[in-house]
Chains A and B, each alone.
Chain A
Amino acid sequence: MGKGLITLRDYSRKEIEEILSLARVMARDQRTGTDIAKGKILAALFFEPSTRTRLSFETAMLRLGGKVIGFSSSEGTSVGKGETLADTVRTVSQYADLLVIRHPREGAAQLAAEFSSLPVINAGDGSGNHPTQTLLDLYTMIDHLKDLEGKEIALVGDLRYGRTTHSLAPALALFGVKLILVSPQELRIKNEIKVELDKHGVKLRETEDITEALDADVLYITRIQKERFPDAAEYAKVAGSYRIDRQLLGKRTPLIMHPLPRVDEIAADVDDLVTAVYFEQAGNGVPVRMALIVRALGLGG
């Protein structure tokens, strides 16, 4: 049996690079498609809405010649009737060859892996992990910057509740980058993650001021959610001060990334810059997830 992916926390840089190089092979022939997963079924269990992650997993499986079953919200399923995750997972394991799970609670993918006889890929669990997003983020950065060693990466926005940066920051630490963590006071990165970053000995500085990060090699922008603030006025003030537009960037050309969806945090006038790569980044989700499926199904690639 192949290997699932619950978290990248116990992965070495070498293991991550192996997945990324398999993804590069997948990228080469993703448009023509292959049939190496012919006859295989991927079960996509999305207990929480998702657009990019779900669609790119489906696309990845279809490009590999396999089929997809699943649901995209718990409404109308046995989960809505009160079934436990453990039971859902044991049932679906009887049908498919691989499970992909997105769940609103932290640790759900880990639990699924314990109860499933199939490999499990974590497509996001609560504010915990989002390892497939991290891999496509790394893939995109390496594509543009070649070597990440010594590069300055600024993570901007909600660093407290967003699972994207929880996953990305520790993985980046393996690649010898310098981190700038830019967020309002109330959305600073959790202590748990900082402990991890310290363990890796990564150079990092924290600031509330976006202008201190504009000279970084990468600006990785995340959405600041309204519901994190006690009142609308406070939210508007904070969100506004982290907005990236052409005027703010001036002549600087950092790589601009975003896990999407964006709301106002990147102005539309930034989209035309060649260094604004967020749609390409989302596109990279397909070859990366193809690689993860191939690996999970033990297809060798």
Chain B
Amino acid sequence: MEQMKINRIRQGTVIDHIGAGKALAVFHLLGLKNDQTTSVTMAIRVPSRRMRIKDILKIENRYLDPTETAMIALIAPQATINIITNYTLEKKERVKLPTHLEGLLRCENPNCITTALREPVQGKFTVIGDSPLRIQCDYCLTIIATEEVERLFLRKI
């Protein structure tokens, strides 16, 4: 087997099996751009048995909360979250697509009441399909597809 090009981490989180080219989006949605103290290793388009090619993100001394894991599932539905302690794998789990999203995104319909100025509501969506991903606004019923979900995420960041 080919030598791994990137180093192991001592402790933290390895997000593996990210769809090729999506690691940067995951990096942004975890707010890592502004986190100056965390060291991050990113691998883009590396060979994968399961996915042919994939991205990997290794984050030192950082662990994900359930909301972050849910967000990753939206962008990288195949991703696995590996918790590393002392260079060894402590826990491994596949991300799970939530059935409902609250507060993560704003609706893209400019005429949706949730996008009105100062209304005290957050975007709420129901996940209506997983592959391909489709979510529906609980208010205006607009359906948003995968690429749009990503675009909305990145705009938010």
Chain A positions near chain B (C-beta within 8 angstroms): 9, 82, 84-86, 103-108, 110-111, 114, 125-128, 191-192, 195
Contact = CB atoms under 8 A, between A and B. Distances in A.
B109 A106 contact: yes
A58 to B, nearest CB: 24
A170 to B, nearest CB: 11
Interface stretch (B24-32, B41-49, B71-79, B114-122): B114-122
A86 B121 contact: yes
Contacts of A106: 109, 111-113, 139-142
Contacts of B120: 84, 86
B138 A105 contact: no
Interface in B72-112: 109, 111-112
For the complex of A and B, list the 7 residue pairs with the smallest distance between their C-beta atoms, beginning with the closest: A107-B139, A106-B140, A107-B113, A107-B140, A105-B113, A108-B113, A111-B113
Contacts of B139: 106-107, 110-111
B137 interface: yes
28 contacts: A9-B141, A84-B118, A84-B119, A85-B113, A86-B119, A86-B120, A103-B113, A104-B111, A105-B111, A105-B112, A105-B113, A106-B109, A106-B141, A106-B142, A107-B113, A107-B138, A107-B139, A108-B113, A111-B114, A111-B119, A111-B121, A111-B139, A114-B121, A125-B113, A126-B111, A126-B140, A192-B143, A195-B143
B116 A105 contact: yes
Contact of A107 (B112, B117, B118, B143): B112
A265 B90 CA distance: 70
Contacts of B137: 107
Contacts of A126: 111, 140
A125 B114 CA distance: 13
A127 B141 CA distance: 11
Nearest to A108: B113
B101 to A, nearest CB: 15
A191 B121 contact: no
Nearest to A193: B141
Contacts of A85: 113, 116, 119
A7 to B, nearest CB: 8
A296 B121 CA distance: 25
A106 B108 CA distance: 12
Nearest to B137: A107
Given A111-B114, A128-B141, 20 more contacts: A82-B117, A84-B116, A84-B119, A84-B120, A86-B121, A104-B111, A105-B111, A106-B113, A106-B139, A106-B140, A107-B137, A107-B138, A108-B113, A110-B139, A114-B121, A126-B111, A126-B140, A191-B143, A192-B136, A192-B143
B121 A192 contact: no
B109 A110 contact: no
A114 B118 CA distance: 16
Contacts of B118: 82, 84
B32 to A, nearest CB: 33
A9 B126 CA distance: 14
Nearest to A166: B141
B10 to A, nearest CB: 47
Contacts of A127: 111
A195 B138 CA distance: 16
A69 to B, nearest CB: 23
Contacts of A107: 112-114, 137-141
A89 to B, nearest CB: 11
A27 B142 CA distance: 36
A125 B111 CA distance: 10
A103 B140 CA distance: 12
